[in-house]
Every structure is written in C-alpha cells, then in structure tokens.
C-alpha cells in the first residue's frame, strides 16, 4: 500500500475534484488539499459546457482520449447511479447532408468500432427518421450510448466525497506560483504559502502559466476559443429525442453548430468556435488585455490563423448573426426554420497549441519530480475525468511517489 503523503490539487473543476477523490482512495491516510481561486466549484470549463457524455466516436484508436473516454463513461455511470445524479442515455446522430461527407462518416464509424463504442450503427434516411422524426440527412451514424449529465453536479458530488474522506477544499485561494523543492513543492497563493509532497495542477485555462511558473516547458501554450450556445424557445423542447451533430471536417479544427439536449429537458443549439478575447470572461465583449496580448504575441497562433481563414469566416457569421446560427441548425432539423432562441452564457475552451500553431489533439500531461501538470484536456475531458484521475494516480504509484 502506498505510504501516506501530502498532496495539493490545483483547481476545483471536475478533473481536479476527481483527482483529489482518487488520491484519497489510493493513498489512505494522506493529506489532500484542493485549492481553487473562485468561491465555488466548477466555475469555468466544467460549468460552461454542453453536458454531453461522449461515447468515444472520433478519437484516434490507442490514444489517451480513446482509452480514457471509454473508461470515463463507465465510471460516470457508476457514480451517477451511486449518487442519484441525473443521467440520460439519449443517444446521438452524426448526420451527413452532402455526398462528400459520407466517406468521412464511414471512417468515423470504423474508428468508433475500433474504440469499442457499443451499439453504433449506420443509418439511411429512413433510419434517421426512425430515431429522430424531425431530422433529415443522406446518412447518419447512430450512437445509442451517448448521454447527457450535469458536470457541475458531478463535481459537487466528488468534492463531497473528498471532504467525507478527510480532504480539504479551499475556495478563494489563487495559486500564483509553484516552487519545486528538493523533497516537495511550495505553493505560493493569494492567502499564503504551504508545502506539499506533490501537486497535481488541473488549472484549465491557466495551465500553461502555472506550468511555466514552476519551471515546466513553455509549450504548449493555451489559446482560448469561445463557444456560444442558444436555448431554443419552450415549444421546441421536444423537437429531438437526443443529439444531432454534423460530420466533422478534418480541414477544420472544431465541430460546426449542433443540437444538444440538457438534463433539464431544454434544447440547445451550439456551440460555435471562435477566438476568445479572454480566458475566463463569459459575458459581454469578454475582453482581457493580458489574455489577448499573449495570443497576439504568440507566433504559433498566427500560423494557425493563416491555415484556418475559411473556418474563421464561417464562424464569425455565427458569432454576429443569431439567425445564421439557427439556419445552420435548421439544415439538420428543418422545422427549426424561424425558431427563436435565447443567448446563453458562452463557454471557453482552453485549447493547447504547439509552437507550430498545431492544436494538440490528445490529452497532454507533463510529469515533473514533485508536480504533475495537465496541459491539455479539452473535450472529452469532462467525460474522461474519472479515468484521467485514475491514469494520473496510476502514474504516481508507478513512479513510487509514495
């Protein structure tokens, strides 16, 4: 059995909460302290996402995303059942509207099969109607195991278990710098300093800054992208049974507009994806000069931008025009034509980018002697959160951090 130690976990989003819970389970008697700069949990990416439990359709077989997504689904189902959390396995259609999308859809189906996604199948127009009477398309991939949940509720449940197991959660405590020592770390925070044997940094949009500040590699850097959601008016609440997504285009880094149910029964359209002017401002213009200045000074971003001008042109239309946004969704569900919707709080994706302007596709974790930094954990990061926690703690045990 691993020897009891003192651990700090930076960030009270879903991954930080999951890591803290896993540490207490695997290192009995240890001191585990979660530090969070906000006054409540799930204040950033965890509390500003669509709530989709991804089945593992798109990810490179053998990669971390593929493996940890499938394991994460199992662990989320178990937790939801044990804690009576709302969990709806509503299913998802990935729909091809054009002939040139059909081969890409078949490739996704093959990848889903390689990843062991249960129950996936290919449908023609009649099959689409059987699953979603209001949807249209030439062909679709059906994933009956795709589900929805409230990740904020999951995070609260995980932190409850952390406290019950003897862990501590400190809100209003911003980590400013992490200093690696010969035998541990010193965390410099807004409320003072404290020592730990090891720290796991689950800081989302601030991950690159905290990594650099503790001596880790400067790359990858975080470039924030915002996603706008709209909630359809009440009369469209039952227009779909589950989720309807477009076929991803490998030339573009993000999915186009799609339709998503929430566990409260409301139907959302979105998100789009466009450069965010800040890492953590969710309302109005959302401008932060420091955040934007870092992006503008990043040579990798300009390489990325030059390669993705068509995407930017398309996405800016969804940013400035609600009607264009909804017309994109109506291509898949024609009865949405003329629908009204309410703009919701945007989400911000902390996307890691390398020096060449390439977006990191897989999860990325940086291991140091006394610090573990999660450098990239976008979608399906929330779905995979409990499995990411297992993976990280496994690595600590195998490296004799005990």
3-state secondary structure of 377: coil
CATH code of residue 353? 3.30.9
pLDDT of residue 1: 66
Give the orientation angle of helix 385-398 with respect to helix 64-82, to 10 degrees. Answer: 110
Task: Compute the half-sphere exposure of residue 308: CA atoms within 13 Å on the CB side of its CA.
Answer: 22
- Please tell me the distance from the alpha carbon of residue 63 to that of residue 42, in angstroms, as a whole number: 27
59 lies in some domain: no
CB 17 within 8 A of CB 322: no
| b/e code 42-79 from CB counts within 10 Å (16+ = b) | bbbbbbbbbbbbbbbbbbeeeebbbbbbbbbbebbbeb
331 shares a domain with 235 = yes
What's the burial of 218, exposed, middle or buried (CB within 10 Å: 0-12/13-18/19+)? exposed
Whether 102 and 216 share a structural domain: no
Among 329, 344, 359, residue at a domain's last position: 359
- Residues 28 and 22: their CA atoms lie apart, in Å, by 10
What's the pLDDT score for residue 402? 47
Report the run of H or E that residue 390 belongs to, with start and end.
Answer: helix 385-398
Which CB contacts under 8 angstroms, 24+ apart, belong to 211-218? Answer: 211/366, 211/373, 211/375, 213/176, 213/177, 213/178, 214/177, 214/178, 214/179, 214/180, 214/185, 214/368, 214/371, 214/373, 215/180, 215/368, 216/366, 216/368, 216/371, 216/373, 217/366
Question: Among 328, 343, 359, where does a domain finish?
Answer: 359
19 CB-near residues (< 8 Å, 6+ apart)? 9, 200, 202, 388, 389, 392, 393
Range of the domain at 306: 222-359
Is residue 202 within 8 A of residue 16, CB to CB? The reply is yes
Q: Are the C-beta atoms of residues 301 and 354 closer than 8 Å to each other?
A: no
Residues 224-258: tens digit of each pLDDT = 998 889 999 999 999 999 999 999 877 666 777 89
- Kindly tell me the burial class for residue 99, based on how many C-beta atoms sit within 10 Å of its own C-beta (0-12, 13-18, 19 or more): exposed
User: Cβ(353)–Cβ(359) under 8 Å?
Assistant: yes
pTM greater than the 0.85 cutoff: yes
Judge whether 51 lies within some domain. Answer: no
Last residue of a domain, one of 126, 144, 162: 144
Helix ranges restricted to H, 186-234: 207-213
Q: Quick one: CA dihedral 387, 177, 180, 8, positive or negative?
A: negative
227 & 137 share domain: no
Percent of the chain with pLDDT over 90: 83
Do 172 and 140 lie in a common domain?
no
pLDDT at 325: 82
Helix (H, G, I), strand (E, B) or coil at 190: coil
Examine residue 191 and state whether it is found in any structural domain, yes or no: yes
Going by C-alpha positions, the residue among 145, 151, 150, 148 that lies closest to residue 15 is: 151
- Residue 54: inside a domain: no
**Within the chain, which residues score under 50 in pLDDT?**
402
Same domain, 269 and 355: yes
User: Does residue 64 contact residue 390 with C-beta atoms inside 8 Å?
Assistant: no
Query: Do the domain assignments include residue 83?
Result: no
């Amino acid at each position: 059995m691993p020897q009891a130690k003192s651990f700090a976990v930076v960030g009270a989003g879903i991954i930080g909460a999951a890591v803290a819970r896993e540490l207490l389970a695997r290192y009995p008697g240890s001191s585990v302290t979660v530090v969070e700069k906000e006054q409540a949990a799930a204040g950033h990416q965890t509390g500003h996402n669509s709530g989709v439990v991804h089945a593992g359709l798109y990810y490179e077989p053998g990669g971390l995303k593929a493996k940890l997504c499938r394991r994460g689904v199992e662990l989320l189902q178990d937790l939801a059942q044990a804690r009576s959390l709302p969990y709806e396995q509503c299913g998802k259609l990935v729909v091809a509207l054009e002939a040139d999308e059909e081969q890409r859809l078949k490739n996704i189906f093959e990848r889903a099969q390689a990843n062991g996604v249960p129950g996936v199948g290919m449908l023609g127009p009649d099959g689409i109607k059987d699953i979603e009477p209001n949807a249209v398309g030439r062909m679709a991939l059906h994933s009956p195991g795709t589900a929805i949940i409230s990740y904020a509720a999951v995070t609260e449940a995980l932190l409850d278990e952390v406290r019950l197991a003897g862990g501590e959660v400190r809100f209003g405590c911003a980590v400013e710098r992490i200093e690696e020592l010969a035998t541990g770390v010193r965390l410099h925070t807004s409320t003072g300093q404290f020592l730990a044997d090891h720290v796991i940094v689950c800081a989302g949009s601030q991950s690159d800054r905290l990594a650099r500040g503790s001596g880790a590699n400067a790359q990858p850097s975080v470039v924030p992208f915002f996603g706008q959601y709209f909630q359809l008016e009440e009369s469209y609440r039952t227009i779909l049974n589950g989720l309807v997504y477009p076929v991803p285009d490998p030339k573009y880094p993000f999915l186009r507009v799609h339709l998503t149910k929430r566990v409260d029964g409301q139907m959302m359209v979105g998100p789009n994806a466009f450069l965010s002017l800040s890492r953590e401002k969710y309302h109005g213009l959302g401008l932060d000069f420091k955040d934007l200045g870092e992006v503008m000074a990043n040579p990798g971003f300009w390489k990325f931008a030059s390669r993705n001008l068509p995407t930017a042109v398309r996405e800016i239309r969804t940013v400035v025009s609600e009607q264009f946004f909804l017309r994109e969704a109506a291509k898949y569900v024609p009865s949405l034509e003329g629908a009204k919707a309410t703009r919701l709080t945007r989400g911000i994706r902390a996307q890691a980018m390398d020096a060449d302007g390439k977006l990191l596709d897989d999860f990325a974790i940086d291991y140091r002697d006394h610090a573990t930094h999660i450098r990239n954990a976008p979608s399906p990061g929330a779905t995979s959160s409990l499995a990411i926690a297992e993976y990280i703690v496994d690595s600590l045990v195998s490296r004799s951090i005990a």
